[in-house]
Structure 1
Amino acid sequence: MGEPQRSEEAMQTIASKAPITAIRPIKTDLESKLPKPYLARAVAAPDTDNVNGTWSHKHNNMSVLQQHVAFFDQNADGIIYPYETFKGFRNLGFNVFASFIFMILVHVTMSYPTLPSWFPSPFFPIYIENIHKAKHGSDTATYDTEGRFVPANIENIFSKYGHTKPDKLSLKELWQMTQANRNVFDFFGWAASKIEWGVLYMIAKDDEGFLSKESVRRCFDGSLFEYVAKVHKARNGPKKMA
């Protein structure tokens, strides 16, 4: 009789003396909908609703993290220069000032870790091959340290913080999520997480002010950026961006 009880206890996700585990519950039935949800995927970003990742999205044998940034590589040479990042944000619908600020933030913080040598470059390039080296702390851990995608962790985002709607996050819930993910004294990670999720919220929130799980998932593999850019171009034309 003792063994079954021990087995059940080993599978518990809530500890009575740790109330936070009840406030932020995690899903326990993922394997019934998604094979091996704990397995980090190298080239696809699946969830329980899209078990094979984004339909028709080409991974080009890049890791999911590499796919996430490849949108900004305008000439597809594997290196992202500041002017390409600026153009990418313009294509997403941001104005000149915001695009310039984002360009500065991205390249000042991410260029050096991705360089193939110890010597800094005055051109602040970002090498996509090494983008995993620019991964910061205080994040959701949906990317692992090699840039693979961990499906269970995107599910946990919404299980823990999607209290209003199970597959969407309000701005308040988004704030709570980024607060909860903070690592001690990781000031850069705190700021980077707020900015990244804030930008995502601006480009992908729906008419009710919610950020959907599908938008978040497609942000991770970069296909969301391609979609948003196409929609923006169709609405405004290439010469009429706000």
Structure 2
Amino acid sequence: MAATSEPFRIGLLGHGTVGAAFEALLEQRADAVAATVGLRPQVSGVLTRSRGDFEEILAGSDLIVELIGGIEPARDYVLRAMRAGKHVVSANKQLLSQHGEELWAIAREHEVQLRFEGAVAGVVPVIRVLQESLAAAHVDRIHGIVNGTTNYILSEMSSRGISYEQALLQAQELGYAEADPTDDVTGRDAAAKMAILARLAFSTPVHLDQVVYEGIEHITADDMAYADELGLGLKLIGTAERVDGGISVRVH
């Protein structure tokens, strides 16, 4: 079946660490996908800052995968793709947490799918669970660790007694933290994820600006030692819950 499968063309926007890994994985799994669904996925075009033409990629693709990150030009590309009748997959939590309502409205208007499972919790399929399995359920609260970088840093500080700066440097050397870790360590990344989860769980628009958040950059080795003496651990936790007829979304 794989040899005669119809090609399914994917336009890839962004070719950094995630984009390159996605393309490699797609090629590796192409036979398995073709055998399962009868369509062989293939990257039909790649857009980066230095190469590629968006209109050509759009015309030659069945699906657009947006892995640019940030707000613009990602928002413009996603809107144009959906208005052209293309399905879109994005892992852009900042875009979805700030412009999600606009994007979902355009997707509904043009009867296309906007999928974003990779934007929250990585390999844990929490988005689809909220959208489908729990669609008719009454969710009161979502609570948990949603940022792996800060969790690694705090775990290393606790288990090894090292400073925040040492743990962050180690995380960067291992590829667990970005060269600029600001969004992670300030809690902004977790806040964006919680805004998306709250929107899905409570069917209420939640903008990133409505999320109260703090980070871990001021936590010291002494703080970790004191918590350990009390038999406690310090973690950056995201919470979204129904309170007094409204909702509260926060990270601390």
Q: Give TM-score, length-normalised by structure 1.
A: 0.23
More strand as a share of residues: 2
Q: Which has the bigger relative contact order, CA under 8 A and spacing at least 6?
A: 1
Higher-Rg member (1/2): 2
What TM-score do the two structures reach when normalised by structure 2? 0.22
